[in-house]
A and B are shown apart, each in its own frame.
Chain A
């Protein structure tokens, strides 16, 4: 341990240390490489290679099993005429458009509520975050049970309030299914947005608020003139993470509607999954994936830009 170092050793002449420095640093360098190698291997084999491999496959007519040959950009031109894929893009964008703002607004309001260090606020944060921890898959299964006509709790409660008939079959109609899933997702995701924005709010120095209050600024003015501008980076980040998450939506739709009725609630990822593992058209599925990687990559790149811009 550190305290055992004798004083004369630590004050040893600099010359002696330097003479060993190059051999030492070369050995250190080699050790460093060895230490990071396993992580690099994982990423190279199971993330970067599939990425390149996928781009390659997208230029072929690769079936799941059997021979293949190059067809150039054939899969990409086929995509434009693939109505299920095009509709899945439109549907996913619509879904993203519906849930994004509610997630941010609810998350912001929750963060404002729990941000002060008051008695109870830590517990409230934990509880509000719980749905995110449990995961959307399990909650989707529960929602399936509760959204059943006549037997589900959701219909029971909503019909007592006079909002819907207790025979509403939520998951059978496109609009109602989208509504139910959107409500579930906002409920699931709001705690995450709260945690992100809370971290941002806590990074704003307290004395700025003190100064604003001394200057006679109301709570609302301080929120608008101080919190919102200083939170810009965190808001942008939450927005991007939430949008990327929505564009990659799969679980909740697979469990709750399986893309139905018809193919009206098929998301982009579900469309890829189906093309690859149900229709065995791996080439086409890979072309779809390449499109998705580019879109998500661009948005994530934007996230890095936002961080660079304000991070320094």
Chain B
């Protein structure tokens, strides 16, 4: 008896297709997205206000005089943060390249080679994921000191690489393990060396995995704060997020919120650009990072 009714229900066009519902969905989506995007956009707008407008009572009139003044002050003069931007770039790029290369090699090894204790080795790398870096900060400080890597951008980059590796190795091992066995066998039969197989046969197949790893490492390194705060004590070596804490507390004279906002926007823009252009790789890596095990 219910069969006919079920059939009828099944044939009805699904609710999501109705134009009315589509309109409400888009409208609600715009409103919800605004909650997450507008505050960021608002701060970008505010960063073009003169300092006097930012630190006095808000009024509509204060938006009539937008200026590049905050940026000009921040990027010029003796306390310019250009060197901090450069520091951040150096650390992030070095950590990204190192993470990508080391994780690709390890993924190649774990994914396509059989060797004794490979399970144990893989487990050791994943163990680093379970260690919160916040909790090894003190011993790491002493260790980096003894290795002459304290107060050094190279030391910071090595630290970032280490804590990006678990995700990278996991992503890359999966990428290599998914390569069809025939392709690897064919390359071997052709007499291609291990290096040649990687560079010319496997490269296009694992490139999306490399993109995921690189993007993950870059965003982590660009936004990391606590490690940089602990391992760098020389102002001229500060990365951007740490340098901004000096701006916040007014180390360079009086507290200037215009400069703080402009600096925050400068720190924010690369993240957004990189993420928007490569986002499909990022979400994949993020989820596999969470799903290790």
Is the beta-carbon distance between B226 and A273 smaller than 8 angstroms?
yes
Is the beta-carbon distance between A118 and B138 smaller than 8 angstroms?
no
Given A214-B10, A273-B137, A308-B293, A119-B26 contact (CB < 8 Å): yes
Complex interface: chain B residues within 8 A of A289 (CB): 135-139
Cβ of B33 to closest chain A Cβ, rounded Å: 4
Query: Which B residue's beta carbon lies closest to that of A300?
Result: B130
Return the CB mask of A284-296 against B: 1 if under 8 Å, else 0.
Answer: 0110011011001
Cβ of A263 to closest chain B Cβ, rounded Å: 18
Q: Kindly identify which residue among B133, B134, B163, B223 contacts A138, using a CB–CB cutoff of 8 Å.
A: B223
Complex interface: chain A residues within 8 A of B229 (CB): 254, 273
Q: Kindly identify which residue among B37, B128, B190, B226 contacts A250, using a CB–CB cutoff of 8 Å.
A: B226
Cα–Cα distance between A292 and B271 once the two chains are bound (Å): 30
Q: Kindly identify which residue among A2, A35, A48 contacts B182, using a CB–CB cutoff of 8 Å.
A: A2
| A15 beta carbon closer than 8 Å to chain B | no
| A191 beta carbon closer than 8 Å to chain B | yes
Complex interface: chain A residues within 8 A of B134 (CB): 248, 250, 269, 272, 292
| B16 beta carbon closer than 8 Å to chain A | yes
Cβ of B216 to closest chain A Cβ, rounded Å: 11
Query: Which A residue's beta carbon lies closest to that of B2?
Result: A216
Cβ of B209 to closest chain A Cβ, rounded Å: 14
Is the beta-carbon distance between B142 and A53 smaller than 8 angstroms?
yes
Cβ of B181 to closest chain A Cβ, rounded Å: 11
| B66 beta carbon closer than 8 Å to chain A | no
Return the CB mask of B212-227 against A: 1 if under 8 Å, else 0.
Answer: 0000000100110110
| B25 beta carbon closer than 8 Å to chain A | yes
Return the CB mask of B235-271 against A: 1 if under 8 Å, else 0.
Answer: 0000001001100100000000100110110011001
Complex interface: chain B residues within 8 A of A304 (CB): 293
Within residues 102 to 142 of chain A, which ones have a CB less than 8 A from any CB in chain B? 110, 113-114, 116, 118-121, 123-124, 126-131, 133-139, 141-142
Complex interface: chain A residues within 8 A of B275 (CB): 130, 133
Q: Kindly identify which residue among B125, B129, B190, B263 contacts A39, using a CB–CB cutoff of 8 Å.
A: B125
Complex interface: chain A residues within 8 A of B140 (CB): 46, 50
Is the beta-carbon distance between A151 and B56 smaller than 8 angstroms?
yes
Cα–Cα distance between A250 and B226 once the two chains are bound (Å): 8
Query: Which B residue's beta carbon lies closest to that of A241?
Result: B290
Given A42-B162, A307-B291, A118-B32 contact (CB < 8 Å): no
Complex interface: chain B residues within 8 A of A139 (CB): 40, 264
Complex interface: chain A residues within 8 A of B293 (CB): 303-304, 307-308, 311
Cβ of B196 to closest chain A Cβ, rounded Å: 12
Chain A facing B: main interface SS: helix
Interface size class of B (residues with CB under 8 A): 35 or more
Within residues 30 to 73 of chain B, which ones have a CB less than 8 A from any CB in chain A? 32-33, 35-37, 39-40, 42-43, 46, 54-58
Is the beta-carbon distance between A138 and B248 smaller than 8 angstroms?
no
Cα–Cα distance between A32 and B173 once the two chains are bound (Å): 12
Complex interface: chain B residues within 8 A of A277 (CB): 141, 230
Q: Kindly identify which residue among A113, A145, A237 contacts B260, using a CB–CB cutoff of 8 Å.
A: A145
Is the beta-carbon distance between B226 and A196 smaller than 8 angstroms?
no
| B132 beta carbon closer than 8 Å to chain A | yes
Query: Which A residue's beta carbon lies closest to that of B263?
Result: A141
Is the beta-carbon distance between A43 and B124 smaller than 8 angstroms?
yes
- Which of A22-30, A173-181, A220-228 contacts its partner? A22-30
Is the beta-carbon distance between A191 and B36 smaller than 8 angstroms?
yes
Return the CB mask of B85-123 against A: 1 if under 8 Å, else 0.
Answer: 000000000000000001101101110111110100110
Is the beta-carbon distance between B165 and A39 smaller than 8 angstroms?
yes
Given A48-B124, A130-B272, A296-B114 contact (CB < 8 Å): no
Cα–Cα distance between A49 and B124 once the two chains are bound (Å): 12
Cβ of B167 to closest chain A Cβ, rounded Å: 12
Is the beta-carbon distance between A213 and B241 smaller than 8 angstroms?
no
Query: Which B residue's beta carbon lies closest to that of A128?
Result: B36
Cβ of B129 to closest chain A Cβ, rounded Å: 8
Rank and list the top 3 A-B pairs by shortest CB-CB distance, nearest first: A32-B113, A35-B109, A135-B223
Q: Beyond A43-B124, A113-B29: 18 further Cβ-contacts under 8 Å?
A: A1-B186, A2-B186, A10-B186, A29-B116, A35-B108, A43-B125, A53-B139, A128-B32, A129-B36, A137-B225, A142-B261, A142-B264, A190-B36, A276-B141, A286-B138, A289-B137, A296-B132, A300-B129
17 pairs across A/B with beta carbons < 8 Å?
A40-B124, A42-B158, A43-B162, A43-B166, A48-B131, A50-B143, A54-B136, A128-B32, A133-B282, A138-B268, A142-B39, A144-B260, A150-B57, A273-B229, A292-B134, A293-B131, A308-B293
Residues of B within 8 A of A (CB): 6, 9-10, 16, 22, 25-26, 28-29, 32-33, 35-37, 39-40, 42-43, 46, 54-58, 102-103, 105-106, 108-110, 112-116, 118, 121-122, 124-125, 127-143, 158-159, 161-163, 165-166, 169, 182-183, 185-187, 189-190, 194, 200-201, 219, 222-223, 225-226, 229-230, 241, 244-245, 248, 257, 260-261, 263-264, 267-268, 271-272, 275-276, 279, 282-283, 286-287, 290-291, 293
Residues of A within 8 A of B (CB): 1-2, 4-5, 9-10, 25, 28-36, 38-40, 42-51, 53-54, 57, 62, 110, 113-114, 116, 118-121, 123-124, 126-131, 133-139, 141-142, 144-146, 148, 150-153, 156, 166, 187, 190-192, 195-196, 199, 210, 213-216, 237, 241, 244, 248, 250-251, 254-255, 269, 272-273, 276-277, 282, 285-286, 289-290, 292-293, 296-297, 300-301, 303-304, 307-308, 311
